[in-house]
Amino acid sequence: MTEFNDFRIGASLLRRIFAAAMFGLLAYVLMKMGFSDDGELWIRAVLVVFAGAVIAMGVWLWQATEGELVLKDGALVVEGGRVLARLDEIDRVERGAFALKPAGGFVLKMKQKQKFGWGPGLWWVRGKTVAIGGVVHPAAGKAMGQIIEAEMAEMALQNSPDEGTPDGR
């Protein structure tokens, strides 16, 4: 199998700042509405609670996008060590224009269910679906999807018997 030396994708600083700023802007709008004098008190309290949740999500996104996803040793791994997908467990890669996938990324359909997980802005896992993308650069997401497809095709060729003619052609 062709070996790639730790192919990595992650979010650039500018993309991380922009994504976190969007959460900050939403939290600001919710706080402003929550602390206004319009509306009932319970509705304003709910808006303030939602603003706090949005701030927490922005912090979580910032922390999750600090790391990178690494394709090495036949597995897609989060830089912290969690294995998202092993290449031999992937059924197919979906990265077309009409695929339900994160922005600039791709989806891996696995043969078996995976443990739920989520790194906001970078990856999520639910059932047999592993989705990669969000704040990653689209070219990097496309390249990683193509490399995974190529490695899967190479593994399939190695595992299937030669179906040539009896005389070896």
Say which residue the tokens 């906001």 belong to.
120
Q: How many domains does the chain have?
A: 1
Q: What is the pLDDT of residues 134-169, one digit of tens each?
A: 999 999 989 999 999 988 888 888 877 666 555 555
Structure confidence at residue 99 (pLDDT): 80
Evaluate whether residue 168 is within a structural domain: no
Evaluate whether residue 72 is within a structural domain: yes
**How far out from the chain centre does Cα 139 lie?**
14
Structure confidence at residue 160 (pLDDT): 73
Alpha helices in the chain (DSSP H): 13-34, 41-64, 138-159
Evaluate whether residue 17 is within a structural domain: yes
Evaluate whether residue 88 is within a structural domain: yes
CA–CA distance from 169 to each of 153, 159, 162 (Å)?
21, 19, 10
Q: What is the pLDDT of residues 48-96, one digit of tens each?
A: 999 999 999 999 999 999 989 999 888 999 988 889 999 989 999 998 8
Domain that holds residue 104: 1-159
Evaluate whether residue 169 is within a structural domain: no
Evaluate whether residue 92 is within a structural domain: yes
